[in-house]
Each structure stands twice: as structure tokens, then as C-alpha cells.
Amino acid sequence: MRTIRVLLADDHAIVRAGIRNLVEEIPNIEVIAEVGDGPALLETLSNAKPDLLLVDLSMPEFDPIKSIRQICLENPTMKILVVSAYDDEPYVHGLLEAGVDGYHLKDQPLSDLKLAVSRIIAGERWVSSSLLPKLVGKKKQAPSVPVLTSRQRDILKLLQEGFDNQSIAIELSLSIKTIENHLTRIYRQLNVQSRLEAVRYINQHPAILGIVGQNFKEKKNNITPQTQEIAILVVEDNQRYLRQMQRMLARVYPQALLYEADSALSAQRLSQKIQPQLAFVDVVLGEDDGIRCARRIKAVSKETRIVMISAYPDREFRRLSMEAGAVAFLDKKDLDARSLKQVVEDMIE
């Protein structure tokens, strides 16, 4: 059997390493190259001619649907598996229609990704099971207001007030590039194309700027936790998994006060303010990585016990996490309500 040549495209080296370790366990597979942005991907494709492309959607200088259409036209025999954190129905539909062979969500178990790669190589198609109800056999419902992070809500508030990107960056102490990346994600979640449409959406759906939390306890970040028994910080930029974690934590430890952050900087600032007893930190955080985030949290809140979580439980990630001050490293697929309760109780004790 001939060797299947695979190209990995993701702007996070730590994610590429985890995926590489996984796919190279499959017989007759060779990862021939790794790239981290759109131009490098197109250049490598023209030179390397892989059999399979594993591609993330949020790389710099990469317009997913437009670029995928171009790639499919220029590489008609190559298989494409999208590995993404985005589960927006229009986005998934658009990429499947553009010609990808599979769509896999990053928060799914590693074993599923391995199975996805094997199925795609065998000539089948793949869609993560959690996406199927959105794609088949469901009646259309009135669109719900998207769930946004506290950072995204802050940016939208400033956008509504007329701030430009540079002013927003100064106000939030972030780079313009970070603001642009946030806005790209926000526009995608709101299904809008411009600032004007985003502001119109805000005016039509004012609830989007509120604090989300019907099924779990949540507190605004500017109030210090002086009366609650324990403060738990969850640092995660995947909103679907963040809400899942918060719901489980509220169920297994209802007296906890839950906080959220989606970047190393916001986690550091929040930790300095609230001094959480426990923090769950994802290894991959948008433009950041959780290892750096753990160091920042420990620098301002030395007593915080940090538990690193990852969909890619690589040994090297574990070693780096321990060096950064974490007390545990857990595979996301193993975190159900029962195991989470045990983790919380062990960390508190």
C-alpha cells in the first residue's frame, strides 16, 4: 500500500504537533509539511502535492470558503479534512458545498479525529456527530442570539459607541491585529459582513450585550468574590465547550462562583482581581497558548491551582504545563460531570 502524504495547516504549532503525533500513528501516513497561514498553504500545495490536507479555518491571511474553492479547483484529487473550533451551521454548509471531504470539530475526542482521517483516506466523507442534528432533518427555527465571550461583548459595546479598530485596541490594551481577529469571528457568529451590519444587529438584538448565564452561576468580572465559598476560572476560547464546562461545574459544585476568560491577557487581569482558587485552562487559546496563560495566572495569583485541559493530550504539552505551574493535565474527552467533581474536590482539598 502506498504512503499517504499529509499536509497540516494550522496557525498554532502546538496544535499541529498534537495532530501530527496522532495521524502518524495511522499506518502508511507521512506528514510531509506544516504551515501556519494562507500564503504558505497555497505555496506548499503547489510544490508538495499532498494526498490529504488537514486544515484549520482561522489562520492569518486565509479566507476559508474562497480559498477552499480555489484549492479544490487546483487539486481535484486531494482530500480535504477541516479541523475547526467553529460549529456555525452556515459555515459548515458553505465549506461542504465548497468541496471539503470532512468537517471535524476540535473539541471532539482524539480517537474521532483518527477515525475521521482513516475514513477520508478510504474515500468516505466525515462530519462530527455533534454537527449532524444541525445539518439534516431539522425544521428551521427562529435564529437564536449567539453566545459571545466577555471580550467579544466589550468589543461590540465599543463598536456600537463608534470606536474604530485603533481606538478599541487602545481602550482594551490589545493589538489592532487581535481586535481585527476578534471582529472577524464576531462577524461570522452574527452572520454579518461589516461594522454597519454588526451595529444594526446589536440594535435589533440588545440582549447580545448582556451577561449570558441561564443554566449556571455567573458573576460580572468587576465584583470581587468576597462572600462565595470558591471562585473558579475557566479559560477557553471555544464557546461551546466553555458553556459545557460551566454547566457541569455549576451542577457538581453549585456554591462556586464561575468566571470566564478567552485569552492569556484577560485571564491574567481577572486572576489578579479575583484570586481564583482553581483555574481550568485550555492548552490552545486563539492567538495565545495555555502554557503562557498558566504562567501569567501564577505570576499574579500564586495560590491558584491550575488544571490544564486539551483535546490533544500530548506528552510534551503535559511536560510544559507542569513546568508552567499546573498541578494536573487532563484530556477533554475524560471530563464528564463525575470526573470533574472529583477534580474540583481534589484541587480544593
Digit-by-digit pLDDT tens for the chain (349 residues) are 689 999 999 998 888 998 999 899 999 999 999 999 999 999 999 899 899 999 998 888 998 888 898 898 888 889 999 998 888 777 788 888 888 999 999 888 778 899 999 999 988 889 888 887 766 654 444 455 676 777 888 898 888 878 889 889 988 888 888 898 889 888 888 888 888 888 888 777 766 665 433 334 444 344 344 334 688 899 998 888 888 888 888 888 887 888 888 888 888 888 887 888 999 999 888 767 889 899 999 999 999 999 999 887 778 888 888 998 998 888 888 788 888 888 888 776 6
Provide the edge-to-edge strand list for the sheet that holds 328-331.
256-261, 230-235, 278-282, 305-310, 328-331
CATH of domain 4-135: 3.40.50.2300
> Rounded to an integer, what distance in angstroms lies between the CA atom of residue 249 and that of residue 231?
11
Against a cut of 0.75, is the pTM above it?
no
What integer pLDDT is reported at residue 287 of this predicted model?
A: 67
> Could you tell me whether strands 284-285 and 288-289 are parallel, antiparallel, or unpaired per DSSP bridges?
antiparallel
Sign of CA dihedral 167, 171, 177, 183: negative
CATH-assigned architecture of domain 230-348: 3-Layer(aba) Sandwich (3.40)
- Domains of the chain by residue range: 4-135, 150-209, 230-348
Instruction: Cite the beta strand spans of the chain per DSSP E.
Output: 4-9, 29-35, 52-55, 79-84, 102-105, 126-127, 230-235, 256-261, 278-282, 284-285, 288-289, 305-310, 328-331
Q: Is 150-209's fold the same as 230-348's?
A: no
Compute CA distances 322 → 13, 279, 287, whole Å: 19, 14, 21
Residue 226 CA to its chain's centroid (Å): 31
What integer pLDDT is reported at residue 221 of this predicted model?
A: 43
What integer pLDDT is reported at residue 271 of this predicted model?
A: 87
> Rounded to an integer, what distance in angstroms lies between the CA atom of residue 257 and that of residue 78?
49
Residue with cell string 481535484: 76
What integer pLDDT is reported at residue 262 of this predicted model?
A: 82
Give the three-class secondary structure for 105.
strand
150-209 folds as: Arc Repressor Mutant, subunit A (1.10.10)
**In terms of C-beta density within 10 A (0-12 exposed, 13-18 middle, 19 or more buried), how is residue 217 classed?**
middle
What integer pLDDT is reported at residue 216 of this predicted model?
A: 44
